[in-house]
Amino acid sequence: MIVEYHRPATLEEALRLLERSQPFTAPLGGGTALNRLIRGEAAVVDLQALGLDIFQAQGNSLLLGATLSLQKLLEQLGAQPMAGELRKVILHEATYNLRQVATVAGTLVAASGRSPFATALLALDAEMTLAPGEEILSLGDLLPLRTERLRGRLITQVALPLNARLAYEYVARTPADQPIVCAAAACWPSGRTRVALGGYGSAPMLAFDGGEPDGAAMAARNAYAEAGDTWASAEYRSEIAAMLVERCLEKINKAQEA
Ligand SMILES: Cc1cc2nc3c(=O)[nH]c(=O)nc-3n(C[C@H](O)[C@H](O)[C@H](O)COP(=O)(O)OP(=O)(O)OC[C@H]3O[C@@H](n4cnc5c(N)ncnc54)[C@H](O)[C@@H]3O)c2cc1C
């Protein structure tokens, strides 16, 4: 149950509140997942007055503020190489109503293995800036240790590479349903290729990070070799993961040739 609501006007004030051990105090982005995550009594620190909703290109990075809503992100994406596929990912992540409220950081912190957005940002090797201290942490390092790494801290922004191409493919019971298996591949001009898989478990999984795409589909097959649950067998997920990665890489190849 939420017993205190704070809406600080500065980052310093927000961090002071989050430092407290009593009552348990959590950042509130859009608030769409927070109620479900809170056990017992808690205070919340609403981040919406902190001006953390930027969308800004800087050098080779696209900086997304922590409280940027998924809908604003969708609307502001332009002609960046990853934009078309990232739009598809966001539309798959959340419905129109949810996108108005759900934030970039809240979505990543609350993501399960079935989150298209977290899967795509893992492939893109997204980097989070944490306050206090401006520590930079990759999403891949944050996802398995979200509770520990974020205690008393805030994500202030998320950086995506502007020069990487992205492709996203999935299978689900219906087109709007959460994925049973999804794959995202990101390729840089240097040939570096990263593949992330989703649809299973508590967080998306990095299956491949190499200097070229060779071996990515096989790595995906191996990464999901044990990914069985009530939704699908491990054999099914493993086969589909390899197929989706091949499709992603073909899509990126075609885009590069065009
Ligand atoms: C009707 C409905 C349907 C939903 N359907 C789905 C679904 O299909 N799939 C799915 O995955 N989710 C679903 N959700 C859950 C939720 O909508 C998403 O996970 C959402 O994207 C969370 O974003 P938020 O900004 O609302 O996060 P919040 O609820 O504000 O926060 C989520 C977590 O992130 C933390 N947090 C927020 N901002 C920061 C920050 N800057 N720094 C550090 N920590 C932070 C919070 O403390 C909390 O632990 C659904 C929710 C609703 C209400």
**What residue owns the CA closest to ligand 1's atom 48?**
34
Q: Three-state SS for 236?
A: helix
Q: Which amino acids bring their CB within 6 angstroms of ligand 1?
A: 26-34, 37, 47, 66, 94, 98, 101-103, 105-107, 109-110, 112, 115, 150, 154-155, 178
Residue that is written with structure tokens 């502001």 in the block: 76
Q: Three-state SS for 176?
A: coil
- Give the model's pLDDT for residue 240: 98
Plot region of 162 (φ>0 → left; ψ -120 to 50 → alpha; else → beta)? alpha
Q: Three-state SS for 258?
A: coil
Q: Strand 205-210's sheet: what is its strand order?
A: 165-171, 181-187, 193-198, 205-210
Alpha-carbon distances, residue 183 vs 76, 124, 168, 175 (angstroms):
24, 12, 6, 15
Closest ligand 1 atom number to CA of residue 70 = 21
Domain with CATH 3.30.390.50 in the chain: 165-257
Alpha-carbon distances, residue 256 vs 85, 162, 244 (angstroms):
14, 15, 18
Domain with CATH 3.30.43 in the chain: 2-46
- Classified by CATH at the fold level, domain 2-46 comes out as 3.30.43
165-257 has CATH 3.30.390.50 classification: yes
- Give the model's pLDDT for residue 209: 98
Q: What is the distance in A from the centroid of ligand 1 to the CA of 32?
A: 5
Q: What is the distance in A from the centroid of ligand 1 to the CA of 101?
A: 9
Residues 6+ apart with CB under 8 A from 84: none
Residues 226 and 224: their CA atoms lie apart, in Å, by 5
One digit per residue, the tens of pLDDT, for the chain of length 258 reads 889 999 999 999 999 999 998 899 999 999 999 888 788 889 999 999 999 999 999 999 999 999 999 999 999 999 898 999 999 999 999 999 999 999 999 999 999 999 999 999 999 999 999 999 989 999 999 999 998 999 999 999 999 999 999 999 999 999 999 999 999 999 999 999 999 999 999 999 999 999 999 999 999 999 999 999 999 999 999 999 999 999 999 999 999 887
What residue type is 201 in one-letter code?
G
Domain with CATH 3.30.465.10 in the chain: 55-161
Residue that is written with structure tokens 């205690």 in the block: 151
55-161 has CATH 3.30.465.10 classification: yes
- Give the model's pLDDT for residue 256: 85
**What residue owns the CA closest to ligand 1's atom 37?**
106
- Give the model's pLDDT for residue 40: 86
- Give the model's pLDDT for residue 217: 98
Q: Residue 72 — φ and ψ, nearest 5°?
A: -65, -40
DSSP H helices in the chain:
11-19, 34-37, 70-76, 83-93, 96-101, 104-110, 116-123, 139-142, 146-150, 216-223, 234-257
- Give the model's pLDDT for residue 34: 87
